Each structure stands twice: as C-alpha cells, then as structure tokens.
Amino acid sequence: MFESIEAAAPDAILGLMEVFRADGNPDKINLTVGVFKDESGLTPVLKCVKAAERRLLDNETTKTYLPISGLSDFCRQTQELYFGANHEVVTSSRAATVQTPGGTGALRVAADFLKHNLGSDTIWCSTPTWPNHPKVFKAGGIEVKNYPYFDADSHGVNVDAMLEAIRKMPAGNVICLHACCHNPTGADPTMEQWKQIADAVYERGLLPLLDFAYLGFGDGIQQDAAALLQFARPETELLVASSYSKNFGLYSERVGALSVVTQNRDAVKTVDSQLKATIRTNYSNPPEHGAAIVSTILNDADLTAQWESELAAMRDRINGMRTLFTQKMSEKLPDREFTFIERQRGMFSYTGLTPEQVDRLREEHSVYIVRDGRINVAGISHANVDALCAAIAKVLAD
C-alpha cells in the first residue's frame, strides 16, 4: 500500500536546514530558519534558562502528566505577560489560556477549535505570510484566503489595500494577523494603522487570531504588545497564539500557548472545556519542561530581569546587524535602496531577491535564504557580512 504514496514536498523553511547541513563549504552562510544566532553563529541557551533548569532539576519530584491545559501558573503568566497583569482581560478573567507545543501547536489547536465549535470555514492570511500558516489552517479543515499586506515598492505595509480587503470580508470569518515582527517581511503597521485595522476588523464582525511569535524582538516587550492591546477592547473576542521559542530561546522544548478571549467571563468555562477536548484528541496533554522553565523565570523577579536583559541583547544584536548589512549593501550597490532593512523589525526581512537569485546564492556562494527572498537577519555576523554582501551584490548586479 505504501508504495503508491507520493512524496511530500520538503518544507519551504525547515527543509532547507537539511540541505544546509549537507553543504561541505566551511564558509557557508545560513539565513534560513528563524532562530537567533550570536556573533559566533550559535543559538545559545539563555543564562536565565540554565538557572531555571538547575532549580527544576533540584526540586522536581515527579514526571506525572500535566493537566490537559498545561501548567496553570504558566497559563496565568502568559496572560499577564502578553496583556499586562492589570489589563481588564486578565482582571476580569475573560480569557481561556492553554499551554501548547509551540506557537504552531497553538495555531493548530485554534484551527480545530474554530472549525468544530464555530463552524469556521474561512481564515484570511496576509500576502505573504509564514508558509506554514495556510498548511496548518487547511489541516484543520479551514479554507485559506489572502488579503494584501506587503508593498514591494515601499517595503512596508499597504494599509489602504489591507483595510479595503478587510471591509469586504464576510462577517464571522477569521483573520490571522502577525502581532509584531511580521514573518516573512519584517514590515509592521504603525500603531495608528493598527488602530485602524482593529476598528475595521470589529466593524466588519470578524474574529481576529493574532499570531504572536516574536514578543520582545521588535522594540521591547511593552512596545511589541501594543498592537495586541488595540484588539483587546472591552467585550471584544479574539485569539492569541503565543510562542516562547524565540524570546526564551526554547525552540526544541516546544512551548507556546493559545488564549481565547471571550466577550465576558461566562463563556470562559465552556471555551476552556472545548480547548481541552481538542487537545485530548491531538496530543493528550503538553510536555512540562519548557513551560516549567518559563514559569520559573517569570515567577522570580531576578530571573525575569535577567531574561529581559538577555532578550534586549538579542534584539539589539539583530538591529545592529540590520544597520551593518544596510551600510555594507549600500556601499556595494549605491544605486539600490537598502534602508528598508534597517527600518524593518524582528528576525526577518524580505530582500526582494527572486527565487532564481536565491538559487544562485545557494549554488554558487553557499548562501542559504528562503526561496521567497526572506533572510533571517540574526544569521548575519561581523564574520560573514562581507562575504554575504559580496554574494548578494553579485547576483543582483548580473
């Protein structure tokens, strides 16, 4: 039976990791998957994480199952971190939060929950979006449509086109928005534009699903949460898929959360019960270690301060590389505009490189970039920036 199965296409992002590993060139450069890298090209374990792990190791008494919805402290802390401890959503207890295996797990639980409980048949994603978004939503049985987002000329967001599209979406549809550090473009709306977007979403009767994978990687924890707060208005409903992969560097621990904000606290219990039903039939209950690390850190003022400073250092390094890359590219190709790289935020920028140019970079220079032209700015370092810019300038100039 299995012989008749057709091979699936390699994943557009994670598939490239395998190709990169197989490249024998010692000077190869990896700007593919969105993981933070330090100056030496390593993805370090944060010091606050190591400290929390030592405590966990000393104090752990059991490996018994977690509740279906995960660690309750972690879920509460997630709400407090994203909305703010004194935010009305938190103080009025009108959000159900469950721990999930990463942000992707949160998106899949959201898709199943929306399909089974609201009969949601359509979700709108930005053009472009993270390539796994449509796949996850389709796997949950939801049709994916697209709204305009990125403007290739300005390298920013085409908010007018986005608002026009939102105003035509059928009421009751779900719209997926990147809360900050848009993946793959690095282009975010301004706060005034976010307000307009939230107004339009709610006027139209849409249900927003905010994918929040990069809190703290844009301009700071509070600054990055500001767009979410535009949606968390009195009595509004929304979903938030949070990831701790990037901001705590816990990629392999698979730790994330899904929060469903209901109009008032009456619906929370039912929503929570349905989220648990979804989780039970998917993976039964989540793994403990990653969430216990996050919870230990957020439960301790010193560890939290250490985490904030380590997060700021990651953010500053990426923003420093944005400036350096922009300077070097502008020197190499003075007639081309690269300042947008410096303006954009988060791990990614959309370079405008075509798939053919990306292929040439890989084949001729061992420079690895996602085929849509997205670069992971965190993969740039003082050691590789000259070779990288030389290679990009060469394929752009030919």
> What b/e string do you get for 85-97 counting C-beta neighbours within 10 Å, with b at 16 or more?
eebebbeeebbbb
Query: Cβ closer to ligand LMR: 120 or 129?
Result: 129
Counting residues that bind ligand LMR (by CB under 6 A) gives 7
Q: What is the DSSP letter of 30?
A: E
Residues in Cβ contact with 135 at an 8 Å cutoff, skipping those fewer than 6 apart: none
| Catalytic residue, candidates 188, 211, 224, 272 | 211
Which residue, 130 or 231, has its beta carbon nearer to ligand LMR?
A: 130
User: H-helix or E-strand containing 24?
Assistant: none
What's the CA gap between 356 and 338, in Å, rounded?
20
Is position 266 annotated as part of the catalytic site? Answer: no
Task: Confirm whether 246 is a catalytic residue.
Answer: yes
Give the per-residue contact string, 173-202, with ligand LMR (x = CB under 6 A; - = no).
Answer: ----------x-------------------
Please, what is the minimum distance in Å from the beta carbon of residue 251 to ligand LMR?
8
Active site residue: 37, 115, 246, 328, which one?
A: 246
Give whichever of 68 and 378 is closer to ligand LMR, judged by the CB atom. 378
| Alpha helices for the chain (secondary structure H) | 14-22, 47-59, 72-83, 88-91, 102-118, 132-139, 159-166, 191-203, 221-231, 268-282, 289-298, 301-332, 339-343, 355-365, 385-397
Question: Which one, 286 or 346, has the nearer CB to ligand LMR?
Answer: 346
d(CA 277, CA 284): 9
Query: Least CB distance from residue 199 to ligand LMR, whole Å?
Result: 29
Q: Are 245 and 213 in contact (CB under 8 A)?
A: yes
Residue with Cβ nearer ligand LMR (158 or 245): 245
CA 134, 348, 23: angle at the middle one, nearest 5?
A: 90
Exposed/middle/buried for 25, CB within 10 Å: 0-12, 13-18, 19+?
exposed
Q: Applying CB under 6 A, does 377 fall inside the site for ligand LMR?
A: no
Instruction: Between 13 and 293, name the residue whose CB sits nearer to ligand LMR.
Output: 13
Question: Per the residue annotation, which of 124, 130, 194, 307 is the catalytic one?
Answer: 130
Phi, psi of 359 (to 5 degrees): -60, -40
Least separation in angstroms between residue 361's CB and ligand LMR is 17
Catalytic-residue membership of 130: yes
Residue 119, H or E segment: none
Measured CA to CA, the distance from residue 75 to residue 308 in angstroms comes to 19
Question: Given the complex with ligand LMR, which of 200 and 251 has the nearer CB atom?
Answer: 251
Closest residue (Cβ) to ligand LMR? 34
Q: What mask of x and - would describe binding to ligand LMR in positions 116 to 145, judged by CB under 6 A?
A: --------------x-x-------------
Name the minimum Å distance from CB 87 to ligand LMR. Answer: 27
To ligand LMR, the closest distance from the beta carbon of 214 in angstroms equals: 9
- Which of 98, 125, 126 is CA-nearest to residue 271? 98
Q: Closest approach of Cβ 127 to ligand LMR, in Å?
A: 16
The mark string for 6-35 relative to ligand LMR (x by CB under 6 A, - otherwise) is -------xx------------------xx-
Residue 259 tokens read as: 């929060």
Q: Report, in Å, the least distance between residue 128 CB and ligand LMR.
A: 12
Look-up of token digits 């899949």: 108
Q: Which residues are catalytic?
A: 130, 211, 246
Task: Point out which residues bind ligand LMR (CB under 6 A).
Answer: 13-14, 33-34, 130, 132, 183
